[in-house]
Structure 1
Amino acid sequence: MLFYSGDDLDAKATVRSLIAKAGFFAVDLGALDVGGPLASLPFGALAGVRFVKV
């Protein structure tokens, strides 16, 4: 699972396609002002969340 965000819809579609082609599940976090801080490591809100149990 890979998270991405951005303000350009065409660029986000391209990134989503690349993520899928690489075999990952793409999760759109929205615009940069919201999604950017969520995806920031190591202090972002999603940094320590486990979505898949292995």
Structure 2
Amino acid sequence: MPRIDIANYLGLTAETVSRLFSRFQREGLIRVCGRTVEILDLLALSELAGTHCGYESDQ
């Protein structure tokens, strides 16, 4: 899904989505490679969203 579509779905600008993706990459929460986004820390993303995803890390 293109960032513009993600932005429209969330009611954000494409620039905001790009900034958030960059921030989440710096914090080690996701990895973006081209059109692929890999979630590296689902629990931390869930906490940022204020939800409980039921995922427990194996660490």
TM-score range, shorter chain: 0.3 to 0.5
Highest RCO, 1 vs 2 (Cα 8 Å, sep ≥ 6): 1
Which structure has more helix as a fraction of its residues? 2
Normalised by the size of structure 2, how large is the TM-score? 0.37
Q: How high is the TM-score relative to the length of structure 1? A: 0.39
Q: Greater CA radius of gyration, 1 or 2?
A: 2
